[in-house]
Structure 1
Amino acid sequence: MSTSSTPRPKRMPPEQREKAILDAAVALARQGGIAALTVRTVAAAAGVTPALVTHYRPSMDAFVAEVFGTIVGAEREEVVADGRAAANLRARITRIVETLLDGDRDDVTLVWVQAWAAGARNDVLAARVRIEMDRWQQDLEAVLAEGVEAGEIAAAQAEGAAWLLLATVDGMSAHSLVKWAPEDRGALARRTVSAVLG
């Protein structure tokens, strides 16, 4: 007879168990940032033993990078797809920037800020951060290139615009974590787009 107070995890096929562990880690990181991720906290969130977490994810550094990429990649895909639905270039870029600055995504902002800091000591995470930053830049550059092709903006105006937009979004989002940001971030988003696109 077992005297352990830890319930035995329900049996699942390996693929389902692996997904459950990843989902639990993603939910945990969205609540407390990637700094909340340890073998023990992920195990508790997933309702499994720490040994089972390390069985599926033997490198915690790589697992943290995976969780980071899952969270920020999903946000990028969602925000860019929503922005692309707008009628013209200015409206598309404005919607993307406004969405990123609307204050509803501070959980993802915390994940980004912690990843930038932790990447100084976690090479795998740093590499994933660079990949995700490149993907954001590439997606914005693609939207801007469509505007150039449609004659909505000159190629010279589009050059470097993605970098400027991302720098503003990153800076203002990080500021918002310590409540140092304008109350009307939507107005800031529109002013930023006007300044960058002319």
Structure 2
Amino acid sequence: MSTVQSDPRPGARRKSPADRAAEVAAAAREIALADGLAGITLRGVAARIGVTPALVSHYQPSMDVLVADTFAAIVAAEIGEVAEELASCARQVAALGALIDSLLGPDRSPVTALWLDAWSFGRRNTALAIEVGVQMDAWQAFVSGLLRSGVAAGEFTVDDPDAVAWQLLGIIDGLNAHAVVRYGHAGSLRGLVRTVAEHELGLASGALGTTTTTSMD
């Protein structure tokens, strides 16, 4: 029968399985945001919390699953954060403008980088590929829901909110991907996204705010 290696730190308190699993998950999230999904390794997580790799392996035997779960936790939290940001908007037009500003802002760069990692690593990590699909669907449903609310309120005119949601997310993802590798500045191109959204939603030019664009460097 195999045994679980104890915490190597002198005088360290033995933690419950639930506490240790939570510690491993928290360490993985910290590593992901600092170093990307590639940084989530047995040795990396073990070093972060000061235990042996064997102990990490006991609580999380599959690093592919840990990577996938970490990605999912961070992206799901971001959706929650954005939802809170938009909750104070009195109209859906204002909420959409705020959404565009937020997703193309510098504060979202760490999560954008994780999306790029996930799209790439998902080719070889089945669990991650599945989670990428789940989270992409969640974002599409979130944006589509905002558009549908705007239609119901008489603010937007659009026949297929689902398709427009995918279109907007595709443009935003592309601009953010460019910015991650320092090709242009996504924030300076918010006007481009606003212009597309206004056209697709039957809004007057400028309804979502300034539409001035800046060419990419």
TM-score by length of 2: 0.83
Counterpart of 1:3 in structure 2 is none
Q: 2:47 aligns with which of 44, 66, 86?
A: 44
Amino acid in the other structure paired with 1:139? F
Instruction: Pick closer, same or farther for the CA change 1:29–1:159 going to 2, 3 Å.
Output: closer
Residues paired across the two proteins, number: 193
> What is the root-mean-square deviation of aligned Cα atoms in Å?
1.7
Counterpart of 1:108 in structure 2 is 111
State the shift of 1:188 in Å.
3.8
Amino acid in the other structure paired with 2:50? G
Counterpart of 2:199 in structure 1 is 195
Q: 2:145 aligns with which of 132, 142, 146?
A: 142
Counterpart of 1:184 in structure 2 is 188
Q: Is the 1:98–1:189 contact (alpha carbons within 8 Å) kept by the matching residues of 2?
A: no
Query: 1:136-185 CA deviation, whole Å, 9 max, x = no partner?
Result: 00111111111111111124163511011100111011110111124624
Query: 1:96-153 CA deviation, whole Å, 9 max, x = no partner?
Result: 1210101122111111000000000111100000000000001111111111111111
Amino acid in the other structure paired with 1:14? P
State the shift of 1:194 in Å.
2.3
Counterpart of 1:55 in structure 2 is 58
Determine the C-alpha separation between the residues in 1 that align with 2:53 and 2:199: 51
Amino acid in the other structure paired with 2:172? V
The structure with higher relative contact order (CA 8 Å, sep 6+) is: 1
Amino acid in the other structure paired with 1:47? G
Counterpart of 2:133 in structure 1 is 130
Q: Is the 1:29–1:111 contact (alpha carbons within 8 Å) kept by the matching residues of 2?
A: yes
Determine the C-alpha separation between the residues in 2 that align with 1:185 and 1:95: 14
Counterpart of 1:167 in structure 2 is 170
Determine the C-alpha separation between the residues in 1 that align with 2:106 and 2:193: 12
Q: Is the 2:121–2:128 contact (alpha carbons within 8 Å) kept by the matching residues of 1?
A: yes
Q: Does 1:152 align with 2:174?
A: no
Determine the C-alpha separation between the residues in 1 that align with 2:201 and 2:84: 20
State the shift of 1:12 in Å.
1.4
Determine the C-alpha separation between the residues in 2 that align with 1:123 and 1:157: 31
Q: Does 1:82 align with 2:85?
A: yes
Partner of 1:184, secondary structure, is helix
Determine the C-alpha separation between the residues in 1 that align with 2:171 and 2:24: 34
Q: Is the 1:20–1:46 contact (alpha carbons within 8 Å) kept by the matching residues of 2?
A: yes
Amino acid in the other structure paired with 1:105? R
Q: Is the 1:34–1:64 contact (alpha carbons within 8 Å) kept by the matching residues of 2?
A: yes
Q: Is the 1:68–1:111 contact (alpha carbons within 8 Å) kept by the matching residues of 2?
A: yes
> Which segments of 5 or more consecutive residues in structure 2 lack a partner in the other structure?
1-7, 203-217
> Which segments of 5 or more consecutive residues in structure 1 lack a partner in the other structure?
1-5
Which range moves more in the overlay, 72-81 or 6-15?
6-15
TM-score by length of 1: 0.90
